[in-house]
A and B are shown apart, each in its own frame.
Chain A
Amino acid sequence: QKEVEQNSGPLSVPEGAIASLNCTYSDRGSQSFFWYRQYSGKSPELIMFIYSNGDKEDGRFTAQLNKASQYVSLLIRDSQPSDSATYLCAVPVYNFNKFYFGSGTKLNVKP
């Protein structure tokens, strides 16, 4: 079992819709969770992180964490074509600066 799992997609949504990206992790001791966006040919850029159960909002992005079920999700409201990218979920090993990344979900936002 991989430490972090994501559906590879592609996930296609129309412009203006809500895109929902999901990630599950295996280590119950994980404390913090990160979402990165990676455009084709570019390096990952941080969107947001979350470490408390519940929701955390940042602009059009909302991260949701459910530690009991070991999943974290990212919602993108009012999706734009510029949101088309691969979204990576990352989970650090507790108290270590070593991150496990999911394989990423490719999002296509259609105009």
Chain B
Amino acid sequence: KAGVTQTPRYLIKTRGQQVTLSCSPISGHRSVSWYQQTPGQGLQFLFEYFSETQRNKGNFPGRFSGRQFSNSRSEMNVSTLELGDSALYLCASSSRTDSTDTQYFGPGTRLTVL
């Protein structure tokens, strides 16, 4: 089975611009979660989508948004980029094994804001 894929892998943007990141989950997985990873804050949960609906949300400003399509692919958008948005953005798709949701991560998108 193919793993989680994310595009693009690397992005360089300038302050004030906006960016859209894409994630394709493992086939059959309907839940997609997004995380931001920085050296100072570690891995932080952004939001989770399931069946095209945002089901959970982390503590990030409204500049961070996302959506999910009927084929479970998901996009994340960051508007009005700030220097502090430079990070590795990780997407994870989930399956349900018994009562446990196991998250599998994609390779990530490295975003640099100049």
Q: Are A97 and B100 within 8 A (Cβ)? A: no
CA distance A4 to B48 in the complex (A): 19
Q: Are A97 and B50 within 8 A (Cβ)? A: yes
Q: Mark B25-58, 1 if CB is under 8 A from A, else 0.
A: 0000001010100000011110010100001101
Q: Are B33 and A97 within 8 A (Cβ)? A: yes
Band of interface residues on B: 20 to 34
A residues less than 8 Å from B43 (CB atoms): 44, 88, 101
Q: Are A42 and B33 within 8 A (Cβ)? A: no
Interface SS of chain B: strand
Interface SS of chain A: loop
On whether A98 and B90 interact (CB within 8 A), knowing A43-B108, A46-B102, A46-B103, the answer reads no
Contact of A44 among B33, B44, B58, B90 (CB under 8 A): B90
CA distance A98 to B103 in the complex (A): 10
Q: Are A98 and B56 within 8 A (Cβ)? A: yes
Band of interface residues on A: 20 to 34
**Chain A residues in the interface with B (C-beta under 8 A):** 31-32, 34, 36, 42-46, 49, 51, 88, 90, 92-93, 96-104
**Chain B residues in the interface with A (C-beta under 8 A):** 31, 33, 35, 42-45, 48, 50, 55-56, 58, 88, 90, 94, 99-108
